[in-house]
Amino acid sequence: MSLLREAERCLANQHAHNLNAFITPLSRSGQWLDRVKEADQRSEKGTPKSAIDGRLISIKDNICTRQLPTTCASGILDKFTSPFNATVVEQLEGAGAVIAGKTNLDEFGMGSHSVHSRFGPVKNLRRDSAGHEISAGGSSGGSAVAVAAEQCYAAIGTDTGGSVRLPAAYTGTVGFKPSYGLISRWGVVAYANSLDTVGILGTNTSNPFSTTTIPATQPVSPNPHDHEFSPSYKPPPLSTRLTSKPLRIGVPLEYNISELTPSVRTAWLLSLAHLQKQGHTIHPVSLPTTKHALSAYYVLAPAEASSNLAKYDGVRYGTRADGPDGNGQADGVLYSNTRGTGFGSEVQRRILLGTFSLSADSMDNYFIQAQRVRRLVQRDFNDVFSAQHPLFDAQAAHSDSVGAGASAGAEVDVIVCPTAPSSPPRLSDLTGDSEKSSPLDAYVNDVFTVPASLAGLPAISVPVTVAESSQDSGADAEELAGIQVVGQYGDDELVMSVGELLAGNRLGEQ
Amino acid sequence: MLRPRPRGTIRLLDRLSCPVTRPQILYLQFRQFSSLPTRSAPTSSSSVQPDSDRVPLRKQLKQEAKALRAQKRQRKESEEASREIWELTVGVEIHAQLDTTAKLFSRAATSASDLPNSNVALFDLAFPGSQPEFQAATLLPALRAAIALNCDIQPVSRFDRKHYFYQDQPSGDIANPAPPEPFARNGYVDLYDYDGIAREDGERIRVDIKQVQLEQDTAKSQEYPPSSQLLDFNRVSHPLIEVITMPQIHTPATAAACVRKLQAILQACGAVTTGMELGGLRADVNVSIRRRGEAPGNNHYDGITGLGQRTEIKNLSSFKAIEDAIIAEKNRQIAVLESGGVVEGETRGWTIGSTETRRLRGKEGAVDYRYMPDPDIPPLVIGEDLISRLQDTLPTAPDQLVVELTGPEYGLSIEDAKPLIELDDGARLEYYQDVVDALHSIHPGQDDITRAALARMAGNWVLHELGGLLTKADRAWDSEIIPARSLADLVDHLQRKLITGPTAKQVLAVVFEGDHRPIPQMLEEDNLLLRPLSREEYLALAETAMAQNPQMVEQIRSKNQLGKLGWFVGQMMRTGEKGRVEAPKAEEVLRELILGKA
């Protein structure tokens, strides 16, 4: 199929489905048509610019694009267009890709179900067994659905605590979060910048892989302001530092929590069995700090968010509320009107949380404590991986490694675990006044994705299907689960290779 | 109403008289000023007064000067009285714009004079998706400052974010290195009597520097009442250096001297370019008092215990404002405590010309800046090699300059050395050095005494003669007005007695007006070189003068009124050919003729 026909089909899908995946969809006509045609000619001549030359790639709407608005799904930026392209956008366009539109998300990336959007919730293409609309996951839900509904070839998202992996698991797509910093964050609107990572979503492992390699390996200079790839900062090698073959697969015992639904547990076990069958060995490992990781994440991320979002005051850009800036009192709070109406409830909740945890009285008990937990989470991973963390001093890493004995004999190449503890919840349970819409319930969905984020490790979520015979209920939507592969910092390629072994497999008990 | 007070009230001056006498002084200035456009003769102003009340201007000025002295004395006495009871403690915090071409976190230029909002990078406006790009070069002037202030430089320091909402601060948060990890600390600055410290502080006092920080400036905002504010973001992210002293100063004059000294040091080491006069440096002071001889106070700041509750006075923009504000705040606190009240820890402001500080914000600590390590800026690691290189290349410190200028090589007085160092942000001193260098190059190999004499003479001309012309013409300093080489030539000719002093001054004025011919050429062409008179010519001149004033000659001879010799010298210079009569030679001849000795 020609690139043009593929693009036209994506465009048709964008308009056919009413999934609210895009905030700004692709226009029916425009310069992009010529660019795809030129890519077709290059393809015929056998001289494509790259593997994604002429492909449509969606961009999450918290990544800056000069041609299309960048709203972050927020009222405060609902009419904002950035004066510059994010580095990742420059890189993709430089490789011949065409921007397929800007995808919907949880406001500023804060959410796990893509329902906290000024432009309405994203709908999953799939439905549950009872035919109810289900969550697409978040916060990159729009990007995941755009991929699942074939509205684009691949999509760019951002993953701060699981925002690419969770929607991938819920929509049956592949979601890859590279090592922190592998893809430039220049032009990515900050939510929690010590965690924010540009990620890629695709329909099978080859799409995200070929797409990842563009920003991850292309020498960057379109944007002279980009520092993350300046010559003094060599990116970690994308090539695997594979130490053993067959692979040693780690199974973190702490991830076998009581909240794990049976179908997810089955998918995990079958995935491990599948890998074992191919000759790889399975090893139990211990990541003891995991149970504190989620709490630490929900202290750190809101703290950074409260700082990063302080800039939205409607003065220099963005949407400003009518009337006076303050709350009317002489000594009143500046911008309370603009920020009160511009930000949605979840963003406000996290700003308040972060403001609290950074305040002088609670800094030590919350922010500092959470940073300590973050260190422990990193140490847990360093203890179980056979590969050395390239950014850590080897001796320093081991000298403070107190509980290293527990898994000393079980050094592994990658860790395999579920992406989310359960299947996607119903949208009706998440919106409105439903009792089940407590923010804490949403936060729990991130329990397996947050540790890799805190440690900055590469992680991929791949869809596996469990054969009906192995299911007690046999319900259609319960069959699909996201399995996550986590590797040592810089082992992005290894993580993707293991993901490829699992992705799309129909697994049976036999 | 606009009338000098009768003499009687002036005698009644007391502490309350300050506001009474002040309007008189203002009035005088006002009257002179307002009379200028319509009447050119200064005497005409007095004719405005009714005849009966008429006081001659000279008398009036005398009265007012007297009143001012009385007021000063009164103030000094009451200050001294209160000092015996109360001890004042002051700490100083200054913010100065660093001399850098780029901003702290963006590549935008720091130029202050450009069109508003023309030097602004996306990050300076906190655009979504923009990131800080730390400009390592901005660190160099900051490090020079830290070295010049004798600080320990931390090998690793960190950038913290500080949060508050204000329209002049685009990100709502500013990234700056904040506690607990300043990049330099534990320094000190020595203040000497010639720095203008209070007399009771003796010859020298050392003030410890708590820490030196890098910060960034805010936007400039301009109010357009009733409801508009204009914002110029050119200044945003301009690197600032913040210097905080320990609360170790006990007199207002010394606090002002401390800020002046800090400014001089920062300018001398090339850390900052503009001083307080141009808004490049602002000072905050914290002020507390405690009763002497009583149990120590309960407050401690920066490890100094037993202090009274302190208040902070923000944004003082002149040395005088610092001194005045501290005195006013000290007196306010004394009044509060003496009336049984409690001093609140608060932030106060000061308006130039006022007599009281005013409350700006409530209790200290009410603003929680919620410091957070900045995730986008890696820690700063400063190598030993960099520090030692900067140490080696640091320009001479002001105190060292004073020692050198007053030493045998230059032989300047301390009164001349100080202004030379301080004037025109150091440009005057640079110019002086150029003149001295030029003098040395004219006659290499001169002996030390001649060199010192030349250097001293050059100091006088750079400071007083040239300074006088500048003041008279109301022109700003510019080293090109009189090229250093021209002044050197002039001083050289004068020193070698090839021209007379009056000629030299006259030539200087001509060059000042824009005649840029080389000095030797000008002297030649304009026939200004001294052609010495012969002994006969001197004798003739002297005899003419004596013949015209025989009674004065007689007075000198009989009453030994030698002072009158000078009058005869003047006569000879007036009657002789202009610029040729040398006073010492004239006097010599006169003595010989009148007193009969050589």
SS3 sequence, B500-556? Answer: CHHHHHHHHHHHHCCCCCCHHHHHHHCCCCCCCCCHHHHHHHHHHHHHHCHHHHHHH
How long is chain A?
510
> Cα separation of A314 and B566, whole Å?
79
Nearest-CA distance from A195 to chain B in Å? 9
The predicted pLDDT at position B267 comes to 87
pLDDT higher than threshold 60 for residue B45: no
pLDDT higher than threshold 50 for residue B20: no
Nearest-CA distance from A154 to chain B in Å? 22
Does A86 sit within 8 Å of B375, measured CB to CB?
no
- The partner residues of A199 in beta bridges, in order of sequence, read A157
Q: C-alpha angle with apex B484: B483 to B486, nearest 5 degrees?
A: 65
Give the confidence band of A219 by pLDDT, cuts at 50, 70, 90.
very low
What is the distance, to the nearest Å, from the Cα of residue A10 to the centroid of all Cα atoms in its chain? 22
- The partner residues of B111 in beta bridges, in order of sequence, read none
Residue B524: which residues within 8 A CB-CB, separation 6 or more?
Answer: none
Q: Which of A163, A179, A271, A357 is catalytic?
A: A163
Q: What is the arithmetic mean of pLDDT over B235-246?
A: 92
The predicted pLDDT at position A239 comes to 53
B93 touches chain A (CB under 8 A): no
> Cα separation of A491 and A336, whole Å?
45
In this complex, the residue of B129, B161, B231 whose CB is nearest that of residue A64 is: B129
Does A307 sit within 8 Å of B173, measured CB to CB?
yes
In this complex, the residue of B125, B166, B372 whose CB is nearest that of residue A316 is: B125
Contact A75, A81 (CB under 8 A): no
The predicted pLDDT at position A394 comes to 54
The conformational region for residue B474 under phi > 0 = left, psi -120 to 50 = alpha, else beta, is: left
Q: What is the arithmetic mean of pLDDT over A251-256?
A: 94
List pLDDT tens digits, range B572-594. Answer: 888 887 777 888 888 888 888 88
A307 touches chain B (CB under 8 A): yes
List pLDDT tens digits, range B275-288. Answer: 887 878 899 999 99
Q: Which of A50, A58, A60, A497 is catalytic?
A: A60
> Cα separation of B182 and B163, whole Å?
17
In this complex, the residue of A63, A333, A355 whose CB is nearest that of residue B370 is: A355
In this complex, the residue of A82, A313, A367 whose CB is nearest that of residue B128 is: A82
Nearest-CA distance from B244 to chain A in Å? 22
Contact B170, B219 (CB under 8 A): yes
Q: Which chain A positions have a beta carbon within 8 Å of B172's beta carbon?
A: 310-313
How long is chain B?
598
A139 is a catalytic site residue: yes
Nearest CA in chain A to B131: A186
Q: Mutation target for A interface from B131, B218, B360: give the one with most A CBs within 10 A.
A: B131
Lowest mean pLDDT among A194-203, A397-406, B469-478: A397-406
Question: Tokens representing B288?
Answer: 């507390």
Q: Which chain A positions have a beta carbon within 8 Å of B107's beta carbon?
A: 225
The predicted pLDDT at position B172 comes to 57
B163 touches chain A (CB under 8 A): yes
Q: What is the arithmetic mean of pLDDT over A345-365?
A: 94
Nearest-CA distance from B173 to chain A in Å? 7
Residue B296: which residues within 8 A CB-CB, separation 6 or more?
Answer: B290, B305, B306, B307
Kindly list the domain boundaries of chain A, sorted by start residue: 3-217, 248-288+386-507
Does A188 sit within 8 Å of B370, measured CB to CB?
no
Give the confidence band of A404 by pLDDT, cuts at 50, 70, 90.
very low
A256 touches chain B (CB under 8 A): no
Does A225 sit within 8 Å of B133, measured CB to CB?
yes
A26 touches chain B (CB under 8 A): no
HSE of B120 in the Cβ direction (CA atoms, 13 Å)?
A: 21
H or E stretch at A156: strand A154-159
Which single residue is written with the structure tokens 């004999």? A409
Q: What is the arithmetic mean of pLDDT over B519-539?
A: 84
The predicted pLDDT at position A65 comes to 97
Question: Tokens representing A224?
Answer: 């002279």
A3-217, CATH topology level: Amidase signature (AS) enzymes (3.90.1300)
Q: Where are the beta strands (DSSP E) in B7-137?
A: 86-97
Give the confidence band of A402 by pLDDT, cuts at 50, 70, 90.
very low
Buried b (16+ CB within 10 A) or exposed e, A261-292: eebbebbbbbbbebbeeeebeebebbbbbbeb
Nearest CA in chain A to B165: A334
The predicted pLDDT at position B189 comes to 95
Higher pLDDT, B145 or B301: B145
Does A186 sit within 8 Å of B165, measured CB to CB?
no
Helices B563-575, B550-559: inter-axial angle, 10-degree rounding: 150
Higher pLDDT, B23 or B452: B452
Nearest-CA distance from A307 to chain B in Å? 7
Nearest CA in chain A to B228: A324
Q: Which chain A positions have a beta carbon within 8 Å of B133's beta carbon?
A: 225, 227
Lowest mean pLDDT among A195-209, A321-335, A485-499: A321-335
The predicted pLDDT at position A167 comes to 97
Nearest CA in chain A to B164: A310
* Percent of residues, chain A, with pLDDT higher than 90: 65
B525 touches chain A (CB under 8 A): no
A370 touches chain B (CB under 8 A): no
pTM: 0.79
pLDDT higher than threshold 50 for residue B143: yes
- The single-letter code of the amino acid at B98 is L
> Cα separation of A182 and A372, whole Å?
24
pLDDT higher than threshold 90 for residue B17: no
| Domains A3-217 and A248-288+386-507 in one fold | yes
A367 touches chain B (CB under 8 A): yes
Q: Is the confidence metric ipTM above 0.95 for this complex?
A: no
In this complex, the residue of A311, A312, A315 whose CB is nearest that of residue B167 is: A315
Average pLDDT, chain B: 82
Q: Which chain B positions have a beta carbon within 8 Å of A367's beta carbon?
A: 372
Q: Which chain A positions have a beta carbon within 8 Å of B170's beta carbon?
A: 311, 315-316
> Cα separation of A355 and A307, whole Å?
8
Which single residue is written with the structure tokens 């991986």? A385
List pLDDT tens digits, range B304-327. Answer: 888 889 999 998 989 999 999 999
A163 is a catalytic site residue: yes
Contact A157, A186 (CB under 8 A): no
User: Checking DSSP bridges between strand B204-216 and strand B239-245, what pairing results, if any?
Assistant: antiparallel
Q: Which chain A positions have a beta carbon within 8 Å of B169's beta carbon?
A: none
In this complex, the residue of B107, B165, B371 whose CB is nearest that of residue A334 is: B165
The predicted pLDDT at position A409 comes to 56
Omega before B40 within 30 of 0, i.e. cis? no
B165 touches chain A (CB under 8 A): yes
Q: Which chain B positions have a beta carbon within 8 Å of A310's beta carbon?
A: 163, 165, 171-173
B231 touches chain A (CB under 8 A): yes
Q: Which chain B positions have a beta carbon within 8 Å of A64's beta carbon?
A: 128-129
Does B127 sit within 8 Å of A317, measured CB to CB?
yes
Nearest-CA distance from A437 to chain B in Å? 30
B223 touches chain A (CB under 8 A): no
A188 touches chain B (CB under 8 A): yes
Q: Taking Cα atoms as reference points, which of B30, B58, B95, B427 lies closest to residue B262? A: B95
The predicted pLDDT at position B302 comes to 79
Lowest mean pLDDT among A150-159, A361-370, B29-38, B537-546: B29-38
The predicted pLDDT at position A166 comes to 97
- The single-letter code of the amino acid at A10 is C
Give the confidence band of A468 by pLDDT, cuts at 50, 70, 90.
low
Q: Which of A82, A117, A135, A139 is catalytic?
A: A139
In this complex, the residue of B133, B172, B370 whose CB is nearest that of residue A358 is: B370
> Cα separation of A139 and A156, whole Å?
12
CATH of A248-288+386-507, one of 3.40.190.10, 1.50.10.10, 3.90.1300.10, 3.30.390.10: 3.90.1300.10
Does A311 sit within 8 Å of B171, measured CB to CB?
yes
Torsion of CA A426, A432, A436, A437, to 10 degrees: 100
Nearest-CA distance from B172 to chain A in Å? 5
The predicted pLDDT at position A424 comes to 93
pLDDT higher than threshold 60 for residue A138: yes
Q: What is the arithmetic mean of pLDDT over A76-91?
A: 95
Nearest CA in chain A to B233: A316
The predicted pLDDT at position B75 comes to 80
pLDDT higher than threshold 80 for residue B6: no
Question: Tokens representing B53?
Answer: 């009340």
B128 touches chain A (CB under 8 A): yes
